[in-house]
Structures are given as C-alpha cells and as structure tokens.
Structure 1
Amino acid sequence: MLQIFLRFFTLGLMSFGGPAAHIGYFRQTFVNELGWLDDKRYASLVALSQFMPGPGSSQVGFAIGYQRGGLVGALAAFAGFTLPSFILMYLLAVTTSAWLANHYVQGMIYGLKLMAVVVVADAVLAMFKQFCQRKSARLLMLVSAAAILIAPFMWTQILLLLGAATIGIYKLSTTQDDTEPLAPIRLNYLYLLLFFVLLIGSFFMVNFGPEAWIFSEFYRVGSLVFGGGHVVLPLLETAVGDTIGGDRFLTGYAFAQAVPGPMFTFATFLGAEVMLDKPFMGACIATAAIFLPGFLLMLVGLKSWHAIAARPKIAGAIAGVNACVVGLLAAALYQPVFSQAVFSGKDMALVLLGFGALKLFKPPMLVLVLGFSLCGILLNIS
C-alpha cells in the first residue's frame, strides 16, 4: 500500500496539464515503466472513467490502485495523487487574504484569471469537436448553454442533464451489432445503493448544519459532472458561487489551474472559503464529498464496463449528456470566467495571444502558468 501511495504522490506533485495529461502520466508510469497492467486493461479503465460522472483522471488512478491492492489500494492511490494539490489549495485559501493587497500577488491572480479564459475556451472547443459531431448533439449543446445563461440554477442543470440523456437515447444511440451477443451485466449493487441513498439524502440534509450543507452541495456536484476537469466549473459556480462571491470564486479557479493534480481539488479551496470558522474541516468535507460519487460508481461497474457500454441506448444517453455539458461549459466561459477576468482591450489581447500560443505551440501547463503570471504582474504594475 505504501508503494501505491508513494507512486501516486510523486505523480500528484508533477501532474500539470489537466485530465488528459494525467492519463498520459499514468500510462507512462503504470503501463510502460512499472508494468502494473497492460495497454488493453489500461484503455478499459480510461473508457470506464469517461462513461461515468466524476473526475476522469482520478477515477483512472483509483481503478489502478484497486487493481493493484483492492479497496485499500484504491484509497491509497486517491490519497497520494490528491494530497499535494489538496495541501496547496487549502494553504492558498487560508493565507491569500492576508497578502492579496500585494501588487505582485494581485498581478499574478490577474494573469491567472486571464489564463483561465484561455484554458476553458480551449476545453470548450476540444469538447465540442469530440462530443458535438452530430446535428442533434449540437442543438443540445446550444439549448443547454442558452438555458443555463437565462436561468443559472442547480435545478436547471439537473433538468438539462436529464433531458439530454432522454433525447440522447432516441437521437444519439448507436447501432447494435447483432452478430455479437451482449454479455450480462454484473454490478456491485451495494455501492450503487449507497450512491443513490447519499444523492437523495443530499437534498434533505441541507438544514442540518454547515457541515451537512457542504457535503450535500459538493456530493450533488460530483454526482452530476460528466467529463470531469473544467466541466465541474459551472456546477460549482451554481452551488456556492453566490456564497463566496464571483471574484473570489474565479480566484480559486485560477489557483486550481496553477497547481498540479486533479482539478476537483478546487473544492478544497471552496470548502475552506465557505466554512471560514473551520476552514480545514470545510476543505476536507468538500473534497471528500465531490470525489465520493465518482468512486462509488467506479466500484459499481469496474468489472462490467464492456457489457454496460455495449448497450446502444445507454451509449446514446451518455452522448446526450456529453453534448449538454459542453453547453454548460460554454455558458461558464462567459459567466463567470470571461466576465470576471476581461475588462479592457489589453486583457482581451493577452487572452487571444495566449490562446494562439496554446494552439500553435502546445506549451506545458507550467509554462502557461508562469507566462500568464508574469504578464499579469507586468500589466498590473505598469
């Protein structure tokens, strides 16, 4: 177990670049270097993580840990990979208010907010190309984006996701190959029951104190995020954006871009901000709650992913949800990301130059962070 923890902890210290990069790091380490699993098995874990809601790269790491050491190994992998970014995001949450008045710090935050515009815009474009190839998917994306901009509420997002899944069943289902019989699905129903009990309970525990409220909000977000990474932004903004304010919310999101590890540790920052009297407890509850749904669902289907994904109607539902989340992310690109970051022609010019550099030269995320931080400092003190 210690070996699993240390391997993932090392990756958690250096894994800049978001979920796609994390999956590349995992493959290099656990397939090519250590040989813990082969390419075929690794590809199956990646496919399963894309099928279910939750933090994609963290789910892959969780599954690798499970394959290596059972449930304890899975928890060791999660703790190792998440701990570096958890510590950094918590420290940023509890210490930044004391030195935010510093011009250099303000400049760095200013630059990172502009970088967030670039990163989210790139994510929207990439996901649009991947998930919105068909006309029905593009229409779902547009309707979802418009609806959430008009009515930016959690219930709107839930209804949009459910509606998109239903439409996807009828409009985006794949054609079944009749020559290959479908394998039976064998699920771990205990974890599935726990997932739904906690999800339903999250709607009723909001009045049982701040700890229960934080758990319920972040558990619901973790249950509804298909695609992981940046897709969590609009759901979190709806859940707690008003509580901490748009500027502070975007500051935390900018910090989440700058640290290695999973994007979902943005919840660490938000949990500490929401529960100012007990920030460490708030950070722990929010972090555990947002990761828990995805891990429970991975445990449900870890042994039957082939049989699940082969069902055409299920594949269609997921395609509809994917198109919907592209629309939600496109709406989040405007509010709060763009509206809280771009205030002048110089800001927009830096965003355009940054986006061009990202697409043309594909720099590592650390280079992007340093570049935008330096530009923000120079613009802020000029």
Structure 2
Amino acid sequence: MKSSVDIFLAFLRLGLTSFGGPVAHLGYFREEFVHRRRWLGEPAYADLVALCQFLPGPASSQVGIALGLLRGGYAGAMAAFLGFTLPSAILLVVFGLGLATLPLDGGWLHGLKVVAVAVVAQALWGMGKTLTPDRPRATLAIAAATAATLLPSTAGQIGAILIGGVIGWAFLRVDTQLPHATLPVRTSRRTGAGLLIAYLVLLLVLPALAAASDSYAVKLFAGFYHAGALVFGGGHVILPLLQAQVVPPSWVSNDAFLAGYGAAQAVPGPLSTFAAYLGAVSTQSPAGWLGAAIALSAIFLPAFLLVMGALPFWESLRRHDGIRRAMPGINAAVVGLLLAAFYHPVWTSAILSGADFCLAAAAFLLLVFWKWPPWLVVVLSATIGGFM
C-alpha cells in the first residue's frame, strides 16, 4: 500500500499541471498511473472510467478518488482528492478575493486549450489500440462516438455505454475480452451499502433541513451537495445548476459568477472547484476561506460516497459471466465517448487556425513518440501560445 504522502504528491503534480477539462484529466491519469507508475493495468483503468461514467458527479475527480482508494485506502482517497483539487481551489479563491493578476484572455490560455487536444489524442491513441483491437469493438467505438455526438446529453452517453454492454454480452465471445486484474478494493460490501444509503439520506434530508434553517452555512452546504449529487458529467454540465443556486437568491452576482467562470478556465484541475470560488465571494456569511471550504466539501462529498460505495459491488458484478462478456463492449463504448469529446468540446474550442493545428500536432509528437513529461509539454505549449 502506498503512503498517503506519496499519493498526495503524485496527484499534486497533476493538480498543478492538468489543464484541459475532465476528458484531458483522464488522459493525464492514464499516462501517470497506468504507464509511468504502473499502479494498475489498462483494462482495470478502463473499468474505473466506465464505472465513473455511470455515476453522477465529476467523473475525472471520481476516477482520481478511486485510484487513491485502491492504492492507499480511505486516507489514500483523501490524499488523491486534496492533491488534485487544492491547487485550482486555492487559485480560484485567491482570484475571488481580488489577489489574482493573470490576464484571462491571453494567448497562453489558448495554448493550454491546444495542448489539451494532444493529451486527449494521446489517450485515444493508447486506449484505442488496447480496448478496440478488432473490427467489432472498433465499430462499437465509432457507433458510440456517433451517438454521443448526435445526442450530446447525459442520456446519449449512458445510452451508448448500455448499448455497448448489451452488444458485448450478446455478440462478443468471452475469449475476446481483455485480461482483468482484480481491483484491490478494501471496502466491504456492507460498508459500501452504508455509504450509498448515506448518499441517498443526505440527498433527501438536506433540502428539508435547509428550508427549515436560518443558517446560511446549512443552505450553502445543502445547495452544493445537491449540485454534486445529481448532475452527470460534472465540469461544464454543472455550471447552469450552480448559477441557478447562487445568482437568483443574490448569494453571488451574475457578473461575479461569469468572472469566476472565466478564471476557472485558466486553472488546472477539476472545474468543479469553481464551487470554492462561489463560496468565497458570497455576499452572505460565512464567505471567504470558510465559505469556500463548505462549498468545496459539499460538492465533492457525493463523489466520495458514490465511488467508495459502488466499487465493492462493481468488482463483484464484473466477475459474473454476463458482465464479463459485456465489459469489452462497455470499454469500446468508453473509447467512443472519448472520441466524441475529443471532437467537441476539445477540438472545436482549441483548433481555430493552422497554427493551432501545428502546435497540437507537435505536442502530440512530443508526448507519444519523444515521451516528454506532460507537465513540460503543457508549459511549452502555454509559452508558445502566448506569442501566437
């Protein structure tokens, strides 16, 4: 078992350098923990991604929590979360308190968007070769990408995974599946069931408690827990719900909300740390660092409860023959969803000119063939973007 300090430092490095949103984060995780550190294999990593695609909340953060849990137990899960989340949360709170000076419209920011294209392309390159090695699974991946592109919603994404699983179960032979290493889940099924029940109880009780309470801290916690508990995909998907939560009751002005949203695009790590900014700039009390801590804890608590509660059952379910036959189809569908996200929003928001394409291609070359570390490619791309 890895020490919590080791896990924290590994995720802190990613928390400081992982630009590009949740899809890019999954690419960073894969490179760091599957290939560089070899904490788990490609099939096991694909299993985690597939599970977190099913769960509400920020998928990339949930994968990080799961990796920390598998490597270091509950303390490892917390260490992974803190390492990956704190850099962006602190930067956004500092910005909210008026101490940030970085221009949010500089070319360096566009350079970060461009390098995200290379990061996601690298993940597609590697996962595609491993998880879609034959015509049936490659076809499934393209079909899933088509469905997710034409139906850009949570229903389209989950539907693609479900259909991929059904096709895998019905048509793919068991001997076509990828080898599987049992995940070292240390949470018992009884504990997992208790955590899932806690998730549901809080979801039902907190709104009533907030309605009956005059405490802003209770209302803040309840509102952000609700946002983290019910929205699939996290990131940009959660922003409209957050805006409806904080702007109408005048907790945060719309101008402050939009300014923070712009700042959130310029920092590494999960976009859901935008919650820390909203808690910090609130017109109510507590605000500042305490308000940020309450909002941040509330929005990520569902991710902890769901991941730690679902993992024991996931590992047990995938041992059944039907699930084993479905998993190759599910994994192929996950590759397809990554391909769809690679097109939009990653490619469409970053590649706006021939120069952008050349920079992305060069970053891909450095990552895949020259094996440069991702953080160095990120810094280089941001620097070049500042002169474009």
Task: Please report the TM-score for the alignment, with normalisation by the length of structure 2.
Answer: 0.67
1:284 alignment counterpart: 297
2:113 alignment counterpart: 113
Offset, 1:108: 2.4
1:195 alignment counterpart: 196
Change (3 A) 1:337 1:211: farther
Change (3 A) 1:342 1:94: farther
1:124 alignment counterpart: 124
Letter in 1 for 2:70: A
Offset, 1:340: 1.4
- Which ranges in structure 1 are unaligned for 5 or more consecutive residues? 28-41, 66-73, 177-185, 225-231, 257-264
1:80 alignment counterpart: 79
Residues 175-190 of structure 1 mapped to structure 2, 5 A cutoff:
175=175, 188-190=189-191
Number of residue pairs aligned between Structure 1 and Structure 2? 324
1:160 alignment counterpart: 160
Is the CA contact (8 Å cut-off) linking 1:154 and 1:238 kept in structure 2? no
Deviations 1:209-249 (A, max 9, x none): 7755644554466xx8xxxxxxx6xx644454797799987
1:351 alignment counterpart: 360
CA distance in 2, matches of 1:173, 1:199: 37
CA distance in 2, matches of 1:206, 1:250: 29
Which residue, 4, 12, 22 being the options, matches 2:33?
Answer: 22
Change (3 A) 1:146 1:200: farther
Change (3 A) 1:352 1:202: farther
CA distance in 2, matches of 1:295, 1:282: 21
1:51 alignment counterpart: 47
> Is the partner of 2:174 in helix, strand or coil?
coil
Change (3 A) 1:337 1:190: same
Offset, 1:295: 2.1
Change (3 A) 1:157 1:251: farther
Larger mean Cα displacement after TM superposition, 240-249 or 122-131: 240-249
Is the CA contact (8 Å cut-off) linking 1:246 and 1:336 kept in structure 2? no
Larger mean Cα displacement after TM superposition, 335-344 or 87-96: 87-96
Change (3 A) 1:106 1:283: farther
1:61 alignment counterpart: 68
Which residue, 336, 341, 353 being the options, matches 1:327?
Answer: 336
> Is the partner of 1:378 in helix, strand or coil?
coil
CA distance in 1, matches of 2:336, 2:260: 24
> Is the partner of 1:339 in helix, strand or coil?
helix
Which residue, 266, 270, 273 being the options, matches 1:269?
Answer: 273
Deviations 1:297-329 (A, max 9, x none): 23446xxx5x75543321222222211121111
CA distance in 1, matches of 2:206, 2:168: 32
Offset, 1:120: 0.9
CA distance in 1, matches of 2:204, 2:327: 24
Change (3 A) 1:107 1:204: farther
2:246 alignment counterpart: none
Change (3 A) 1:90 1:43: closer
Change (3 A) 1:11 1:107: same
Change (3 A) 1:312 1:297: same
CA distance in 1, matches of 2:104, 2:235: 28
Change (3 A) 1:197 1:329: farther
Letter in 1 for 2:380: G
Letter in 2 for 1:361: W
Offset, 1:145: 1.4
Task: Please report the TM-score for the alignment, with normalisation by the length of structure 1.
Answer: 0.68
Change (3 A) 1:123 1:215: farther
Change (3 A) 1:196 1:153: farther
- Which ranges in structure 2 are unaligned for 5 or more consecutive residues? 18-27, 53-61, 177-186, 211-218, 244-256, 283-290
Letter in 2 for 1:59: A
Deviations 1:261-317 (A, max 9, x none): xxxx5154243467663544332223333343222223446xxx5x75543321222
Change (3 A) 1:172 1:267: farther
Is the CA contact (8 Å cut-off) linking 1:219 and 1:292 kept in structure 2? no
Offset, 1:364: 0.6
Is the CA contact (8 Å cut-off) linking 1:173 and 1:314 kept in structure 2? no
CA distance in 2, matches of 1:104, 1:254: 7
Change (3 A) 1:333 1:270: farther
Change (3 A) 1:216 1:103: closer
Deviations 1:81-137 (A, max 9, x none): 332332211123334576888559723211111111111111122222121123332
Change (3 A) 1:200 1:108: farther
Percent identity at matched positions?
20
Change (3 A) 1:241 1:280: same
2:20 alignment counterpart: none
Deviations 1:145-169 (A, max 9, x none): 1122222111222222222222221
